[in-house]
Every structure is written in structure tokens, then in C-alpha cells.
Amino acid sequence: MNIHKIAHHLNGLTDNSDTGLLFDCQPISGEVDVLQITLSGREELPVFVSVTDDQVICITYLWGEEEVKSEQRVAMLEAMLEMNIPMPLSSFSKIADKYVIFGALAISSTFSDIEHELAVLSNNAIEVIDDMGEFLI
């Protein structure tokens, strides 16, 4: 499993997607190759996928630290912790000054599993942004 095989599969789905979503995949070369996946109608929340020896990691950036109301930061973090368990297939993290939502799959996951994870992660990102709006500028 690698990002190029994932991209080929997702780009080839067109209207045959199990999730009903359309995927546009763009590889990004670097020290670690990353696949940027844009879902139709959700262009502002791309999913970034990387593949390691053990897992497939899917990440969506939510907002930056500068977008958080400083007086609401602790309440926001507590709300995120409370939301973390009931949110299927996704968890919160922070990369530098950016809050993210992510999911990980086994390297042996099927393309269908990956497609499902991407859809759930994208849906969860939209829900989180809606739910956390009161904490953001």
C-alpha cells in the first residue's frame, strides 16, 4: 500500500464511490510523501494521507491557535476531550499551532476501508467545526 495506489483507486472511483463522495488526489513529494485529497464540495477541508510501514494516517487541519478565543481556550480543549471518544474513527491532535483531526488504519486496510475512513474523517471535521464555532474568532 502506498499513496500512489490510493490516489489511483480514489481518482478512478468517479460515480462508483461507496460513500457517494468524489475524490481528487494530488501527491505531494517530500521527506515523507503525502497525498492531498480534496472531497467535492469540501474543498476547504482537504485530507492529508501518509503511509508508514505500519499504518495509513489521515489528517485534516481544522483551525489555527490564532483563531481560538483566548478566554475560551480551556473550555474548547475540554469540549474536544469530551467529544473525542464518541466521535467514530477520529481523534484530535495539534501539529505546531494547528488543531487537527486524524484517523489511522492498518497498512493491510482495503481501499474500501480507506474510502470509508476518509468520508468519516471529513464528516467529523465538518461536525467539529460546527460544534466548536463558539470557541473560535
Q: What is the pLDDT of residues 110-119, one digit of tens each?
A: 999 999 999 9
Distances from the Cα of 80 to the Cα of 56, 75, 91, angstroms: 23, 9, 9
User: At 82, is the secondary structure helix, strand, or coil?
Assistant: helix
Give domain 3-135's CATH number out of 3.30.1460.10, 3.40.50.1580, 1.10.10.10, 3.40.50.970.
3.30.1460.10
| CA gap 2, 8 in Å, rounded | 10
Q: What is the pLDDT of residue 88?
A: 86
54, three cell numbers: 505500519
Average pLDDT of span 83-109: 95
Greatest pairwise CA separation for the chain in angstroms: 46
Average pLDDT of span 95-114: 97
Q: What is the pLDDT of residue 16?
A: 87
Q: What is the pLDDT of residue 122?
A: 97
